[in-house]
Chain A
Amino acid sequence: MSQKTFAVAVAPLLFLLLLLPSVGLSQESETCLSCHGVMKGSLKTQRGTMVDLNVDTEKFNASVHATLPCTECHMRFSAGSHAASGSAVPSDILSLSSKIAAKFKNDPVAGAACAKCHAEVYQKVLSGVHGKNITEKKQVDGAFCLDCHGSPHYITRVKDGKSPMSRKYQVETCGKCHGSQAIIEKYKLEENVMDSFRESFHGRKLHLGHTRAPVCTSCHNAHDIRTKSDPESPVFGKNKLETCGKCHRGANEKFVPAITHKRPGPIPHYGEKLLILLTMGTFAFIISHVLLEAFADIRDAVFRKKEGK
């Protein structure tokens, strides 16, 4: 069936979906939320970590995960009391949870549970620089699912304008780490990333709401993010030709250096200084000339009335 026939034959049927009763919370979530929906504040666990007790029912209901029962991710818990042990955790999730335990101190199984549905994306993150930072270097401040997408309880689609990964907020979200001096120094990251993007044509256009201006993930990939020294990175050496070429058809080796995160080199730097000097010199001349001429005109009109005028 061609796409067109499909569109004509099947698409109208999709409207029938509107007739279905709206999807609500699962029975189990309601049980959990009857307490966690009203609890406030956080609690110190036996392992010494803090856990936030509150789940905002309304926001959870609006999230894409609203239909999932709590134990879908919090597998160690049961639908009933906390004392009862939860369902058996699949072995792959269990081994994954031990790998990312450094990041998820409270419930690593829940952190690994994302992979139940998002397996492919999860693997990409693990093989990328952010994942390796957690699994290999055992660092805790490296970005992982929730650092970018926000709380799983309130997660919305990237295309939804409110998502921290939406076009509107993505740069800001990445900037939480890539604009933080402490993190930049700790991991020896490229230091001028946020400012250079902000000042670039891409950044300016994005800020103004240009519909095709790129965000971070446009060039650096969404989940499979790698350092620029990794040959598989989309911004490694010649890979840039293809990456820039996604929007700039025919991008060549002399074109791709147009956008970097580096600070301007000496030529643009001193070139601009020269232009500023020239501009200031011109301003000084024209402004003083205009003002002095105006004063002289006033002086002549008031004090030196000429004959015949």
Chain B
Amino acid sequence: MSETNTETTGIPKEIERFNVIFRIQHVLMFTTFLILSFTGWGLKYAHDPEGLSSVWIRVWGGPDTAGLIHRIAGITMLLDFVWHVIYLIYLFATKQMTINTKTTVIPLPKDVFDVIKNFMYFFGLSKEKAKFGKYSYAQKFDYWAVFWGMFIIGSSGYALAFPMQVSYIIPSFTSGWIWELLGLMHSDEALLAIVFILFWHFYNEHLKPEVFPMSWIWITGKISTDKLKHHHPLEYELLFPEEAKKEKKG
């Protein structure tokens, strides 16, 4: 797996992993995520540590302004998510995207085995790490975590931002407990999302020795064929079957 090998063969040096629309959606997602985390944190921990949250919220223009910023960022994030879903539907409808077990982001039984295999590798019980298609289980987890977040935090956030409008559509029997539940859902799962991003996403896409300081795919959208072969061997085999076969023999 040296540089010269790829140059002599007829395969491209790099391939597009995420097109510009996906990249814009990602930028919108993380900017709004950061803004929401920063402004929401002050309200979640309004009382502790004593006095600090008041100072922090003042950084964001005081509680009135911080609330407005939080709402605007939240709506932007929800629209971004809706855009993403509609775009996916469009891609499927026009057959620009099809489901293939080696390229899909949908979780498969293989991902569970991959997790087990990797844990065995970490403990020295397996000589090999798991081999991934286009998306490793770590990346799938990252991706679907956003859907979970949108479902729990997004929906509750919408209800809390527009309680009057939402109150008309909730069933009467829920009104006694749903507001309390929505508040808890929003705040608890927001903390989960923040810790998840800090540990999982930051380690896997920023701190890991092989990507530090960050994976540049979010800007360029491109991955080198070398890296593809190394990190996503199954996708590489799918895209360049002949090269892969040759290399295996050689």
Contact = CB atoms under 8 A, between A and B. Distances in A.
Interface stretch (A92-100, A152-160, A283-291): A283-291
Interface stretch (A10-18, A132-140, A143-151, A200-208): A200-208
Interface in B123-150: 123-124, 138
B53 to A, nearest CB: 6
A252 B168 contact: yes
A103 B208 CA distance: 71
A265 B1 contact: no
A210 B46 CA distance: 11
Interface residues of chain B: helix, strand, loop or mixed (majority): helix
Contact of A290 (B47, B67, B199): B199
Contacts, number: 129
B49 interface: no
B185 A254 contact: no
Given A207-B47, A295-B122, A290 B180 contact: no
B177 A267 contact: yes
Contact of B203 (A282, A290, A295): A290
Contacts of B124: 299
Interface size class of A (residues with CB under 8 A): 35 or more
B47 A257 contact: no
A265 B195 contact: no
Contacts of B63: 205, 208-211, 213
A252 B165 CA distance: 10
A21 interface: no
B209 to A, nearest CB: 6
Nearest to A263: B180
A222 interface: no
Interface string B172-207: 100111011101110011011001100110011000
* Residue of A204, A211, A259, A299 with highest tally of chain B CB at under 10 A: A204
A254 to B, nearest CB: 4
Contacts of B203: 290, 293-294
B164 interface: yes
B181 A255 contact: no
A276 interface: yes
Contacts of A249: 164
Contact of A282 (B2, B43, B47, B192): B192
Interface string B48-91: 00000110011000111001000000000000000000000000
Nearest to A203: B46
A80 interface: no
Contacts of B123: 292
Interface string A99-117: 0000000000000000000
Interface size class of B (residues with CB under 8 A): 35 or more
Interface string B99-134: 000000000000000000011011110000000000
A283 B195 contact: yes
B43 A208 contact: yes
Nearest to A295: B122
A283 to B, nearest CB: 6
A281 B175 CA distance: 30
Contact of A297 (B175, B177, B208): B208
Contacts of A250: 164
A251 to B, nearest CB: 7
A279 B122 contact: no
B42 interface: yes
Interface of A: 198, 201, 203-205, 207-213, 248-255, 257-259, 264-265, 267-268, 271-272, 275-276, 278-279, 282-283, 286-287, 289-290, 292-297, 299, 301, 308
24 contacts: A201-B183, A203-B46, A208-B42, A208-B63, A209-B54, A209-B62, A212-B64, A253-B172, A254-B167, A254-B168, A254-B172, A257-B179, A258-B179, A265-B176, A271-B184, A275-B184, A278-B192, A286-B195, A289-B118, A290-B203, A292-B119, A293-B118, A293-B208, A294-B203
Given A248-B163, A287-B199, A290-B203, 19 more contacts: A201-B183, A205-B46, A207-B46, A208-B43, A208-B53, A209-B58, A212-B64, A248-B164, A253-B172, A254-B168, A255-B175, A264-B180, A268-B184, A275-B184, A275-B185, A282-B192, A286-B199, A289-B118, A289-B200
Minimum-distance CB pairs A-B, first 3: A258-B179, A204-B46, A255-B167
